[in-house]
Structure 1
Amino acid sequence: MSEPEDGTIWDLFDLTGRVAVVTGGPGKLGSQMCDALAEAGANVVVASRTYEDCREKADELTDRYNEAMAVSVDVTDEQAVEEMVEEVVDRFGKIDVLVNNAYNASGYGVPFEELTRDEWEQTLEGVLTQTFFCSQAALPAIRESDAGTIINIGSHYSVVAPDHRVYGDSDINNPPTYGSAKAGVIQFSRWLASYLASEGIRVNSVSPGGFYSEEMEDVEDYEEVFVPNYEHRTPLGRMGDDTDMKGIVAYLASDASKWMTGQNIVLDGGWTVW
């Protein structure tokens, strides 16, 4: 492969020297995004409640790519989020990329008529409010960047309702708490994009569809009912895999998307086209 020249696609996707924070970093989607950002050259901060999981992922990234960092944080705790930002700035001096990926949702398997106020409010806090906390706390550090960008993770259920027929008796049917909170994330992203545009800070969101989960294989009706139904309902005929989040986060984090802000990209194999 020839050496890249200034302005080539290789330059546009190059994240060398940039610092990227990924909340929920050790998780299924978070891990993919951490890999993508590190492969593109970024120093990745892996953040979640469980420090050991973060440490394991950060060590892996450091060994394979660039210096990475693990941070334990409860993203619903304002003080904890502020302390996370301080740790990152103490280590790297700035934040270029913030990926708000962590979430905590309640209400799965609960009939709508039986959902409680606590379950509703816990999901709003664990999905929407924490996105606000993290964005607000990280903003001063992002302002130190020449290419600051925030990427918020929504869901295809932030733009359409679930097809309740695909779930069978699995008790994983998507609750109204989740989609409502994720829809709030999309609108918050648009508002923040408009607010920060004059400073050159970009804000976009990604709304992924369903990703296959090995951890769910023992759940009733997951393999036999939900997965085939979901794949049949999806134009590309499959669920998300172990690399499907990588390209989009690398694009949104890099100069390849430097003229894009306030957008929600639906990454769902076509689920929302019909």
Structure 2
Amino acid sequence: MTESVWDLFDLEGRVAIVTGGYGQLGSQMCDALAEAGANVVVAARTYEKCVEKAEELSAEHGEAMAVEVDVTDEDAVERMVETVVDEFGAIDILVNNAYDAHGYGVAFEDLTVDEWERTLEGVVTQTFLCSQKALPYIRESDHGTIVNIGSHYGVVAPDHRVYGDADINNPPTYGAAKAGVIQFTRWLASYLAADGIRVNSISPGGFYNEEMEDIDDYTEVFVPEYEHRTPLGRMGDETDMKGIIVYLASDASKWMTGQNLVLDGGWTAW
């Protein structure tokens, strides 16, 4: 019998790890995967926040768990994988969302090699590490998929004029590292295709962040300038990551691999 569209999106019983799972975008993705039926693992450095998010998910949906992990530490990533498998017996979905970028508010001429290298480690290397360590278990899944989180600034350069004096101008470290994630996605998709494992990336545009409202020029300059340059006329909101992550994590996208889906309200369309 042909599967219905609801069957294709159903994640019931699957195990999904989301690194950086309690942050602005990570929290949305955890919510969406749990709502679709997955057992979600909230993984990040601050264990207390992971626990808070996991308890929220468990109360509203299926069983979730929290794991403390530094995704740039090989041993810590191995422990995360072992902990998840000990608890749930499987890994079906890996969302590489965590990142640690440096160089914000620093002029290009003053950017240090340390800031450059730490960003590559905190964005590209962690994506490699988590994918490599989880792979043996993802291979055992009938629905194995990896979703990497890139950025529209891994596709195009930022418009430096939109930032004013907000001191949040996108640094070269970030865009270079996110571009690396997108290319790594393509390479890994090609490599794992024979195993039936799909690898795709999402490149979000700017999402409105209430925690940045106290920063100079954020609401007065950056937000209106950013929205003006976006065809849909707004920044991302509290639900914009939900549909796309369930699509890529589920059988609804079972013939899609090696793709980078840009979720930016049209920012890169012109």
Encode CA deviations 1:171-193: one digit per residue, 9 max, x unaligned.
10000000000000000000000
After superposition, what is the alpha-carbon deviation per residue over 1:121-173, rounded to whole angstroms, capped at 9, x for unaligned? 00000000000000000001111110100000000000000000000011100
- Identify the match of residue 89 of structure 1 among 80, 85, 88: 85
2:150 pairs with 1:154:
yes
Work out the CA distance in 1 between the residues paired with 2:234 and 2:39. Answer: 32
Aligned equivalents of 1:256, 1:223: Cα separation in 2: 37
Paired position in structure 2 for 1:107: 103
Which amino acid is the alignment partner of residue 158 of structure 1?
G
For 1:237, give the aligned amino acid: G
Indicate the residue corresponding to 1:125 in structure 2: 121
CA shift at 1:109, angstroms? 0.6
What is the CA deviation profile of residues 84-139 of structure 1, one whole-angstrom value per residue up to 9, with x for unaligned ones?
Answer: 00000000111000000000000001000000000000000000000000000000
- Who is 1:59 aligned against? 55
- Equivalent position amino acid for 1:99 in 2: V
Structure 1 counterpart of 2:162, from 159, 166, 175: 166
Amino acid at match of 1:181: A
Q: For the residues of structure 2 that align with 1:138 and 1:6, how far apart are their CA atoms?
A: 31
Mapped partners of 1:273, 1:201: distance in 2? 30
Cα distance in 1 for partners of 2:199, 2:77 equals 19
Asked if residue 195 in structure 1 is aligned to residue 191 in structure 2, the reply is yes
Matched, 1:176 2:166: no
**Equivalent of residue 203 in structure 2, options 172, 197, 207:** 207
Q: Does residue 12 of structure 1 match 2:17? A: no
Identity over aligned pairs, percent: 80
Partner of 1:223: 219
Structure 2 counterpart of 1:46, from 42, 49, 52:
42
Instruction: Give the letter for the 2:125 counterpart.
Output: T
Residue in structure 2 matched with residue 140 of structure 1 by the alignment:
136
Matched residue SS, 2:34: helix
1:130 maps to amino acid: Q
Secondary structure of 1:67's match?
A: coil
Aligned residues: 270
Give SS of 2:63's match: coil
Q: Which letter does structure 2 place at the counterpart of 1:170?
A: A
Shift of 1:39: 0.3
**Structure 2 length-normalised TM:** 0.99
Residue by residue over 1:2-46, the C-alpha shift from the partner in whole angstroms, topping out at 9 and shown as x without a partner, is xxx851110000000100000000000000000000000000000
Q: Which consecutive unaligned segments of at least 5 residues does structure 2 have?
A: none
**Which ranges in structure 1 are unaligned for 5 or more consecutive residues?**
none
What is the rounded CA distance, in whole Å, between the counterparts of 1:94 and 1:157 in structure 2?
34
**Residue of structure 2 in register with 1:263 after alignment:** 259
1:240 is the counterpart of 2:240: no
2:27 maps to 1:31: yes
| Separation in structure 1 between the aligned mates of residue 46 and residue 233 of structure 2, nearest angstrom | 34
Runs of 4+ in 1 over 3 A off after TM superposition: none
Q: How far, CA to CA, are the matches of 1:266 and 1:45 in structure 2?
A: 25
Instruction: Kindly provide the amino acid, as one letter, of the partner of residue 197 in structure 2.
Output: I
